Amino acid sequence: MAKKKETGYLSAKESRRIAKANRKITDEFEKKYKRKNVPESEYLTEMHDKSNVLEIDDLHTYFFTDVGTSKAVDGVSFEVPQGKTVGVVGESGCGKSVTSLSVMQLLQRPQGQIVSGSIRLNLGDKAYDVTNTPIEVMQKLRGNFVSMVFQEPMTSLNPVFRIGDQIDEVIELHEGQHMTKEEIKARSIEMLELVGIANSEGVYKMYPHELSGGMRQRVMIAIALACSPRLIIADEPTTALDVTIQAQILDLFRSLKDRINSSIMIITHDLGVIAEMADYVVVMYAGRVVEKGTAEEIFAHPAHPYTIGLMASKPVVGKKVDKLYSIPGKVPNPINMPDYCYFRDRCEMKCGPECDGEYPHEISLSPTHKVSCYRFYGQQVSDGKGGEQ
Amino acid sequence: MANVKNVRGMQHINEHAEFVASQPQPAPNAGDAPREAGVSSLLEYDPQYILQVRDLKKHFPIKDGMLSRVTGYVKAVDGVTFNLKRGTTMGLVGESGCGKTTTGRTILRLNGDKTAGDVLFNGKEVYDLTKKELHDARTKMQIIFQDPFSSLSPRMPVGEIIGEAVREHNLVPKAEFNDYIDDIMDKCGLQSFHKDRYPHEFSGGQRQRICIARALALNPEFVVCDEPVSALDVSIQAQIINLLEELQEQFGLTYLFISHDLSVVEHISDTVGVMYLGNLVEYGDTDDIFRNPLHPYTKALFSAIPVPDPTVKMKRIVLEGSIPSPANPPEGCKFHTRCANCMEKCKHEAPVQKEIEPGHYVVCHLYDDAAEVSK
């Protein structure tokens, strides 16, 4: 409680001091992004593994707010292999969305900045390091090679433009140089048909408010897929939808992924959706990855206490329990993170004095399954150590 | 009767006006008049049920043009029948826009007048209560709203939010008021020093606890929970569900639990009603419904639930299209436009509710013969 007071009620003088210091830091970052005519060598890079579409390496994304620096993402690393689906799970505020926005370079600037780490994006012939890419170049990548489906189909479409115009815009911007207006329109209508909208000509002329939630989400997906991106980031694509519509949208994602052979990074807090869609699962807590592995590993042998708690707290149809498990306590304040394991205060599997030490490093339980918890120290699999390579 | 109806109409127009008190009322024996009305409606009171709903309808007018003429009706609730046993929980599931919330609010008489049907709460027709009786009955039936961020007044401290209705109904003497609020807050997992804080200082889960405390402060018998956990995180969801269950045990509450999350409904409910486009298509014990869903819509709904186990690959019934507009519902069975088992009969004739197993009702032409066999 005292902590909250400390950060919640700053004196105006203190707040001004922090704001000034922040501006100094963020201006530096802004300058870097706004440069023009940057030589390619600065942001081109090599993928560590050619079969990955995306490699995130020790990413730190901070928000420099007037009440202090909020470490929203604090050392996240994972990969998205070509043609696979990676699911990212965690509670709200754990940094799932911020990670994905970092990849798109769509963070709320200037407060939100990628402080360190690298995000390598594989575009086939070239690989870009998003953290060093200036805005100018990034605009050409977004929508074209990597695109995003947002959580709220109600708020992410522009209410004053027709659906058709909004899809046309994307195609025109990225592939439109050699296309006539009619060709672009034909392409847009084709996209609407691809996402399962029967009345595609009619919907092309409609405004977003004339469509239901499921239909709007389909339009969002059509916009995201318009240029056949190599990576689709879906940020809670079905959270606002009903189960029956959710089933339709998930089916759509699966079939489209196979058709254009792209990878999906799906962000959700619904473990059911993850189990159904994902090949690999990344569990995040308080800005860090606490566990990652293949879907089978995570669901069959969850290792981190947080993952176990998350699974136990969700009622499952067909499994009767008298009382649902609920993880005690709450997520630590992102401005004042403890220096020991972030989950220690909520953990019910206290392993002993070592948990008071610094944040546990990643342990490999198998070549693909990794967990950050002191309970598994000493169980390291020999070949897992070089897994990063 | 006509006179009573007229009074009600006026009430509806001047909902906050106090003049109704001057209307002639059978004041000394207030309980008798509604009882008579209940008998005349042919729905008999069964003391084991706290709530009996028969053929409830609520249509909202669509107004159009310069003169605001009524051009049609949105049939939000179009014939809902169920009984709710004392001390149990009934889950109400369905897609958004199927009328779950309207059903909950219409039962509590929060939506103005009903269009048709009967709602018997403890044997009394809710819509025949006079203003004073309704005021008293409000303490017995409460609602917890969906969004804890918009259902709490941002200008009132938490203690005042919880205590406002207690004061209005004079439930406790002034001297005990503070202790009473502390006690309720404690039961709902809030600390007494939270009393002077404002809602914006709380997280989503805490706010939902405030909403629950506000409802329970009146010592109700029946609580409508309108999607109480859908705005919350998974781990917070579990806390709130556990709290609701504990409180039910402690106070012997009856819940009408409205949700679109089927796994939550299965966990908390004793009986489940499945709604589609204003109708209750299937209704029965939770076990019966989840083990043996009968209606094609229920089957499709259940097959759409994602299972948190990657090794299970479910055979899924994906419903085509979306829910039709309730302003212009399809003829015959309302589900026939999306049904996989649609027959010619379904397109013209609306099915009626049938009891397939004891306590398991379904509204579908597929079971026309089955019902006869069981009889």
Instruction: Give the model confidence (pLDDT) of A14-47 as tens digits.
Output: 888 888 888 888 888 888 888 888 888 888 888 8
A260 and A374 fall within a common domain: no
Query: Which pLDDT belongs to residue B30?
Result: 38
Question: Which residue in A317, A331, A343, A348 has the most chain B C-beta atoms within 10 A of its own C-beta, making it the best mutation to test that interface?
Answer: A317
Inspect the interface and report whether the beta carbons of A313 and B238 lie closer than 8 Å. Answer: yes
Q: What's the CA gap between A57 and A77, in Å, rounded?
A: 4
Residue type, B107: I
Query: Which pLDDT belongs to residue B162?
Result: 92
Residue type, A14: E
Question: Which residue in B146, B234, B249 has the most chain A C-beta atoms within 10 A of its own C-beta, making it the best mutation to test that interface?
Answer: B234
A216 and A328 fall within a common domain: no
Band of pLDDT at residue A213, cut at 50, 70 and 90: confident
A205 and A268 fall within a common domain: yes
A220, A243, A278 - which closes a domain: A278
A105 and A180 fall within a common domain: no
Inform me whether the pLDDT recorded for B9 exceeds 80: no
In a domain, A102, yes or no: yes
Where in the sequence is the domain holding A175, given as residue range(s)?
143-278
Query: Which pLDDT belongs to residue B106?
Result: 92
A131 and A172 fall within a common domain: no
Inform me whether the pLDDT recorded for A382 exceeds 60: no
CB B222 within 8 A of CB B249: no
In a domain, A3, yes or no: no
A60 and A157 fall within a common domain: no
A249 and A310 fall within a common domain: no
Domain count, chain A: 3
A21 and A48 fall within a common domain: yes
- Name the closest residue on chain B to residue A321, using Cα atoms: B267
Residue type, A349: M
In a domain, A313, yes or no: yes
Inspect the interface and report whether the beta carbons of A317 and B305 lie closer than 8 Å. Answer: yes
Give A239 to chain B, closest Cα distance, Å: 10
Give A135 to chain B, closest Cα distance, Å: 34
A270 and A148 fall within a common domain: yes
Number of H helices, E strands in chain A: 12, 12
DSSP B71-90: EEEEEEEEEEEEEEETT-EE
A132 and A154 fall within a common domain: no
pTM of the model: 0.80
SS3 state of residue B137:
helix
Sheet holding A280-285, edge to edge: A146-149, A231-235, A263-268, A85-89, A280-285, A288-294, A370-371, A363-364
Band of pLDDT at residue B314, cut at 50, 70 and 90: low
Query: Which pLDDT belongs to residue B31?
Result: 38
The string over B247-266, giving b where at least 16 C-beta atoms fall within 10 Å of a residue's C-beta and e elsewhere, is bbeeeebbbbbbbbbbbbbb
Which chain B residues contact residue A278 at CB under 8 A? 310
* Pick from A19-28, A50-59, A378-387, B281-290: least confident: A378-387
Q: What's the CA gap between A192 and A180, in Å, rounded?
A: 19
Count Cα neighbours of A82 within 13 Å in the Cβ-side half-sphere. 10
Query: Which pLDDT belongs to residue B313?
Result: 67
Residue appearing with tokens 């969700």: A314
Inspect the interface and report whether the beta carbons of A296 and B233 lie closer than 8 Å. Answer: no
Which residue in A213, A274, A314 is closest to B263 by CB distance? A314
Residue A101 is inside which H or E element, if any?
A: helix A96-104
Which residue in A243, A300, A327 is closest to B235 by CB distance? A327
In a domain, A294, yes or no: no
A70 and A33 fall within a common domain: yes
Burial class (CB in 10 A: 0-12, 13-18, 19+), B207: buried
Residue appearing with tokens 């989503």: B204
A331 and A274 fall within a common domain: no
